[in-house]
Amino acid sequence: MEKKEYTLNELILEAAENPAENDFFELEKPAMLEINLKNQKILSKAGSMVAYIGNIDFKRESMLSKGLGGLLKKAISGEGASLMYASGTGKLYLADGGKKVKIIKLQDEAIFVNGNDVLALEESISNEIKMLKSVAGMVSGGLFQVRLAGSGYIAITTHGEPILLKVTPGQPVFTDPNATVAWSENLTPSIKTNITFGSFIGRGSGESFQMEFMGQGWVLVQPYEEVKYTQK
């Protein structure tokens, strides 16, 4: 049961960071990512910095930026927003609307992540942005996929605790695009439409348009339909 009241000392003990932990990407709290920079650079979602200690410089990517910032700008932050580079030495704390943070250490591997759910990535991680054009206009803002590959840390966010569903040959998995967080590299999603069911429910996204995953792999789904922005 969640504690309803604290003495000041109890609050300090529970909420204080753990100084003994100094991993590069570290889960300080369920919804708080701590990044320990030692003359390093990372890329994070714009506006996700909540605090830092030390000598850390921040740089926002402009609307006309190319390369990594240009690719991820739209996928992670939406139209008109920008990304943030952080470099230097110190402790950086990131969060995104109270969503839970999951840290993944890729070891010469690759996964696909919904662009809205990428919180941070190590500079060594390569990326490629794609969009399921068939879902553009059907799901608010379309659906951007970020392929993250290589060796290093990434951090993704979820509303609540996600569930991992296994995909096997002959047993596809269907998901709501707005609840789909990530999936294994060897799966390529397609869009399945069910207009009749969607019309019956009276909604225009999740129920009438689903992502279909076929093959061998897994899909990570959160217990929440997240709509970040609306494409006009």
Q: Of residues 67 and 124, which shows the higher confidence score?
A: 124
Other beta carbons within 10 Å of 17 = 15
Backbone angles phi, psi at 195, to 5 degrees: -65, -40
Q: CA angle 81-84-88, nearest 5°? A: 170
Phi, psi of 151 (to 5 degrees): -125, 125
pLDDT score of 115: 82
Distances (CA, A) of 111 to 161, 203, 218: 19, 30, 10
Range ranked top by mean pLDDT from 11-20, 91-100, 182-191, 203-212 = 91-100
Q: According to the model, what pLDDT value does residue 22 have?
A: 73
Of residues 122 and 139, more confidence is placed in 122
The CA–CA distances, whole Å, from 148 to 11, 113, 127, 222, 224 equal 38, 8, 5, 19, 23
Dist CA 132 CA 115 (whole Å): 12
CA 211 to chain centre: 18
User: Which of 228, 231, 1, 230 has its CA nearest to residue 115?
Assistant: 228
Q: Note the pLDDT of residue 140.
A: 45
Per-residue pLDDT, averaged over 75-84, amounts to 52
Does residue 4 register a pLDDT over 70?
no
Mapped onto helix, strand or coil, the DSSP state of residue 5 is coil
Q: Cα(95)–Cα(205) distance, rounded to whole angstroms?
A: 27
As a whole number of angstroms, the distance between CA 115 and CA 158 comes to 12
What local confidence, expressed as pLDDT, does residue 192 receive? 79
pLDDT score of 64 = 37
Nearest to 85 by CA among 51, 120, 126: 120
CA distance 202 to 5: 43
94, 173, 177, 193, 199 from 196: Cα distances, Å: 42, 20, 18, 9, 5
Please list, residue by residue across 158-191, b when 16 or more beta carbons sit within 10 angstroms of its beta carbon and e when fewer do.
Answer: bbeebeeeebeeeeebebbbbbbbbbbeebebeb
pLDDT of residue 139: 47
- % of the chain at pLDDT higher than 90: 49
Residue with the bigger pLDDT between 16 and 222: it is 222
Instruction: Name the fold adopted by 21-221.
Output: Double-stranded beta-helix (3.60.160)
- Percent of the chain, pLDDT > 70? 67
pLDDT surpassing 60 at residue 110: yes
Tokens representing residue 136 in the block: 């553009």
